[in-house]
A and B are shown apart, each in its own frame.
Chain A
Amino acid sequence: MSKINTRFPPPFARYDIDGAFDEMFDSEGAVRDHYLAIYQRLLELPAGELQNRQQAADLSFLHQGITFTVYGNDEQLERIFPYDLLPRIITGAEWGTIERGLTQRITAINLFLRDIYHEGKILNDGVVPRELIYSCKYYRRQMRGIHVPNDVYVAVVGTDLIRVDSGEFVILEDNLRVPSGVSYMLANRQVMKYVFPRLFSAYGVRSIDHYGQALLSTLRSLAPKRRMDPKIVLLSPGVYNSAYFEHAFLARQMGITLVEGSSLLVHDNVLYMRTTAGLERVDVIYRRVDDDFLDPLAFRPDSLLGVPGLLNAYRAGNVALANAIGTGVADDKAVYAYVPAIIRYYLGEDAILNNVETYLLFDDVQRRYVLDNLEHLVVKAVGESGGYGMLIGPQSTAAEREDFRRRINANPRNYVAQPTLALSRAPCFIDGQVEPRHIDLRPYILYGDQVSIAPGGLTRVALRRGSLVVNSSQGGGSKDTWVLQQ
Chain B
Amino acid sequence: MLSRVADTLYWMSRYLERAEHTARLLDLQLHLMLELDAAALEKRWERLLISLHIPPPPTGKTDSFTMTHWITFDPTNRNSLVSCIADARENARHVREEISTEMWEQVNLLSLQVKDAEIETIWDDQPHVFFRTVKEGVHLFQGITDSTMNHGEGWQFIQLGRALERVTATAVLLKTHFEPQIRYQDTITEDYLEWIGLLKSCTAFEAYCKVYTAQLRPDRIAEFLILNPEFPHSIRFSIDEIHRALQAVAQSTENKRARNVNRLSGRLRATLDFGQIDEIVGSGLHVYLDTVQAECTQIHDAIYQAYITYPIDELVS
The CA-CA distance from A278 to B315 in the complex, in Å, is 7
B153 touches A276 (CB 8 A): yes
Contact of A276 among B112, B253, B315 (CB under 8 A): B253
Instruction: Provide the residues of chain B in CB contact with A247, threshold 8 Å.
Output: 97
Closest beta carbon of chain B to A250's beta carbon, Å: 8
Asked if A122 is at the interface (CB within 8 A of a chain B CB), the reply is no
Return the CB mask of A269-289 against B: 1 if under 8 Å, else 0: 000111111110000000000
B109 cross-chain contacts in A, Cβ below 8 A: 63
A 230-274 binary contact with B (CB < 8 Å = 1; else 0) = 000000000100001101110110000111101101011000111
Q: Does A62 contact B (CB under 8 A)?
A: yes
Sample of 18 further A-B pairs with CB below 8 A, known A272-B316, A279-B312: A63-B109, A63-B112, A239-B94, A245-B96, A252-B97, A258-B97, A262-B4, A263-B4, A268-B316, A274-B312, A275-B253, A276-B3, A276-B6, A276-B307, A276-B308, A277-B1, A277-B252, A278-B253
The residue in chain B whose Cβ has the minimal distance to the Cβ of A268 is B316
B2 interface hit (Cβ, 8 Å): yes
Q: B255 to A63, Cβ gap below 8 A?
A: no
The chain A residue sitting closest to B156, CB to CB, is A276
Name 7 A/B residue pairs within 8 A (Cβ), A-sorted: A245-B96, A251-B97, A257-B2, A274-B2, A275-B1, A276-B1, A277-B254
The number of chain A residues touching the other chain, given as a range, is 20 to 34
B interface residues with partner A (beta carbon < 8 Å): 1-4, 6, 90, 93-94, 96-98, 101, 104-105, 108-109, 112, 153, 249, 252-255, 307-308, 310, 312, 315-316
B104 engages A65 (CB within 8 Å): yes
Nearest 5 pairs between A and B by C-beta? A277-B253, A248-B96, A251-B97, A276-B307, A252-B97
Taking chain A's interface residues, is the majority helix, strand, or loop, or is none over half, making it mixed?
A: mixed
* A348 CA / B99 CA spacing, docked (Å): 50
A301 to B98, CA, bound (A): 31
Residues of B within 8 A of A201 (CB): none
Query: Could you tell me the distance in whole angstroms from the C-beta of B13 to the nearest C-beta in chain A?
Result: 15
Considering the chains assembled together, what is the distance between the CA atoms of A374 and B307 in angstroms? 61
Q: How far is the CA of A263 from the CA of B254 in the complex (A)?
A: 20
Most buried by B among A244, A276, A279: A276
Most interface-central of A62, A65, A245, A252 (chain B CB within 10 A)? A65
Give the residues in chain A near B153, CB-CB below 8 Å.
Answer: 276
B7 to chain A, nearest CB (A): 9
Give the CA-CA distance A304 to B47 in the complex, in Å. 44
Kindly list chain A residues whose C-beta atoms are within 8 Å of the C-beta of B253: 275-278
Interface residue A73 (Cβ < 8 Å from any Cβ of B): no
Question: With A and B bound together, what is the CA distance between A277 and B152 in angstroms?
Answer: 13
Among A239, A252, A257, A273, point to the contact of B93 (Cβ < 8 A).
A239
- A65-B108, A262-B4, A265-B312 in contact; A276/B96 too (CB < 8 A)? no
What residues of chain B lie closer than 8 Å to A277, measured between beta carbons?
Answer: 1, 252-255
- Closest residue to A264 on the B side, CB-wise? B2
Q: Are B96 and A252 in contact (CB under 8 A)?
A: yes
Task: Say whether A64 faces chain B, with CB atoms less than 8 Å apart.
Answer: yes
Tell whether, in the assembled complex, residue A63 and residue B108 are in contact, meaning their CB atoms are under 8 Å apart.
Answer: yes
B316 touches A65 (CB 8 A): no
Alpha-carbon gap, A251 to B95, bound state (A)? 10
Q: Is the CB of A275 within 8 A of B312?
A: no
Chain B residues contacting A251 (CB-CB under 8 Å) are 97
Q: Mark A186-225, 1 if CB is under 8 A from B, else 0.
A: 0000000000000000000000000000000000000000
